[in-house]
Amino acid sequence: MKLIIMEANMLTLISGGEIFSPYYLGVKDILIAGEKIIAIEEHHSIKINGVRIHKINAEGKKIIPGFIDVHVHLIGGGGEGGPATRAPEITLSQIIKNGVTTIVGCLGTDGITRHMESLLAKAHALEKEGITTFIYTGSYQLPVKTITGSICSDLVLIEKVIGAGEIAISDHRSSQPTYEQIAQLAAECRVGGMLGGKAGVLHLHIGDGKKRLDYLFRLIKETEIPVTQVFPTHVNRNPSLLEHAIQFAKMGGHIDITAEEEPPKGSSVLSTKEAIKYCLENNIPVERITVSSDSNGSMPRFDEKGNLVGLTIATQETLRRGFQTLVKEEILELFQAVKIFSANPARFLKLQGKGEIKEGNDADIVLIDENLEITDVFARGKRMIANKKILVKGTFEN
Ligand code: ZN
């Protein structure tokens, strides 16, 4: 008789950490089998004999679900200063070291030299390397670039496609789409999402233009499309845009803040902290807010006098630091921050098995110490970081 047992290493017990699922579950033990969480029980109560088990002592640590970053230029964005300013692709270690275990990728301003096919391939590559990936189909400008010919068919036929975006409005770099064009895209997202069993959101890049979210308000007023079908990002770009975003959230919409630690002097951008504080002061439920990194887009660099001195790329460090600041400065309680950085995007974008530490969910787990520094990361059950040391690197990383 051949006895098949689980591969050694496939059972992991994370023992004695204080779990914020996002909800406070107390000090418990988490049992992981393969990619999944299979049990969450009282500390010391899980007993397993006859199989090798990898035990991790999490006493003194807090345990949260991995971050979900809903706006990342996986194959690099930028290019707005000519070909030399095209930003590089993201790498696995850049992602996991910031506690991110799920990512949604998109193209950026450049829909000419960057292609949906390359974005899809990169999403598959990162998934193979260990994290979970999804993408938005389409491009900044209209007509949108897709893989199979339309947003609707991409949503139905390509598993990784969960919406369309980032499509630019109220921006000098946009294709100046009309309201009718945006309404049609939202309608296509709606049907594609339904047929594909996806959220099918229309993820809109909002620029500095004075129309702000006017199209979105018209859409809600003039059509039957639900407010949750459209998902604006960069809403902390300036105070008046944030005002519109607050109105939109009050109508039931979800808004995405672009992580910004310290906006350059003279800029109108609000930091993550300022933007969230302002949302809370205006009674926006935390459930309607997400924060994303805009990672691997290009970012201008300024000297102390505010002169442009070069370009750098956005990273997910701003996401992690934003999370830490919000909790350390007591703007949010830990469970509320976990909602914004993990549970909300999972629920809103219908990412099954994500965003919550719960039996049956994917084992995307982050351990943090008393300073909220990340010590360990598990992505789909695999230990990617142990005691602050990166264990798994991308294919071409040394
Ligand atoms: Zn953008």
Q: Number of C-alpha atoms within 13 angstroms, CB side, residue 277?
A: 13
C-alpha 204 – ligand 1 centre gap (Å): 8
To the nearest 10°, the Cα dihedral for 75, 79, 85, 90?
Answer: -10
Q: What is the CATH number of the domain that holds 299?
A: 3.20.20.140
Q: Do residues 237 and 342 both lie within one domain?
A: yes
Same structural domain, 85 and 45:
no
* Å from CA of 361 to ligand 1 middle: 31
Distances (CA, A) of 61 to 5, 20, 33, 369, 372: 31, 11, 21, 5, 9
158 plus 54 within the same structural domain: no
Task: Convert the pLDDT of each residue in 95-105 to its tens digit.
Answer: 999 999 999 99
Q: Determine the distance separating the centroid of ligand 1 and the alpha carbon of 168, expressed in angstroms.
A: 7
- The boundaries of the domain holding residue 25 are 2-64+357-390
The average pLDDT across 103-112 equals: 95
Based on the fold, state whether residues 130 and 21 are members of the same structural domain. no
Distance 315 CA to ligand 1 centre (A): 14
Which residues, at least 6 apart from 28, have a Cβ–Cβ distance to it below 8 Å? 17, 19, 40, 41, 42, 43
pLDDT at 5: 46
Cα-to-chain-centroid distance, residue 245: 19
The answer to whether position 52 is within a domain reads: yes
Task: Let me know whether 171 and 213 are in one domain.
Answer: yes
pLDDT at 304: 73
Is it the case that residue 112 has pLDDT exceeding 80?
yes
Question: Is 398 a member of any domain?
Answer: no
**pLDDT surpassing 90 at residue 90:** yes
Distance from the CA of 3 to the center of ligand 1, in angstroms? 53
Verify that 343 and 368 share a domain, yes or no: no
Say what the pTM is: 0.96
Q: What is the mean pLDDT of residues 189-216?
A: 97
Contact 79, 66 (CB under 8 A): no
With H, G, I as helix, E, B as strand and everything else as coil, classify residue 12.
Answer: strand
- What's the rounded mean pLDDT across residues 85-90? 95
Nearest to 129 by CA among 148, 101, 151: 101
For 142-177, the pLDDT digits (tens) are: 999 999 999 999 999 999 999 999 999 999 989 999
Instruction: Give the whole-angstrom CA distance, residue 69 versus residue 345.
Output: 8
Q: Does residue 94 have a pLDDT over 70?
A: yes
Q: d(Cα 169, Cα 20) in Å, to the nearest integer?
A: 37
Amino acid 306: pLDDT = 67
Lowest mean pLDDT among 7-16, 40-49, 119-128: 7-16
Whole-number Å distance, alpha carbon 123 to ligand 1 midpoint, is 19
Whether residues 222 and 161 fall in one domain: yes
Are residues 114 and 33 both part of a single domain? no
| Cα 253 to averaged position of ligand 1 atoms, centre (Å) | 19
pLDDT tier at 311 (50, 70, 90 boundaries)?
Answer: confident
Q: Are strands 67-72 and 161-169 parallel, antiparallel or unpaired?
A: unpaired
Give the chain's radius of gyration (CA, Å). 21
Beta-carbon neighbour count of residue 176 at 10 Å?
A: 14
Band (pLDDT 50/70/90 cuts) for residue 59 is: very high
Q: Which of 29, 110, 171, 294 is catalytic?
A: 294
Domain membership flag for residue 203? yes
Domain count, the chain: 2
Mean of pLDDT values over 182-203? 98
Residue 166 alpha carbon to ligand 1 centre in Å: 6
**Each residue of 321-357: pLDDT tens digit?**
999 999 999 999 999 999 999 999 999 999 999 999 9
pLDDT score of 374 = 98
Residue 230 included in any domain: yes
pLDDT at 9: 52
User: Could you read off the pLDDT of 250-271 as tens digits, one per residue?
Assistant: 999 999 999 999 988 888 999 9
Is 294 a residue of the active site?
A: yes
Q: What is the phi-psi region of residue 105: left when phi exceeds 0, alpha when psi lies from -120 to 50, beta otherwise?
A: beta
Distance 28 CA to ligand 1 centre (A): 40
Q: Write the pLDDT tens digit of every residue in 359-382.
A: 999 999 999 999 999 999 999 999
Q: What are 42's two structure tokens? A: 């009282």
Looking at the fold, whether 133 and 176 belong to one and the same domain comes out as: yes
d(CA 390, CA 398): 11
pLDDT reading at 300 higher than 90: no
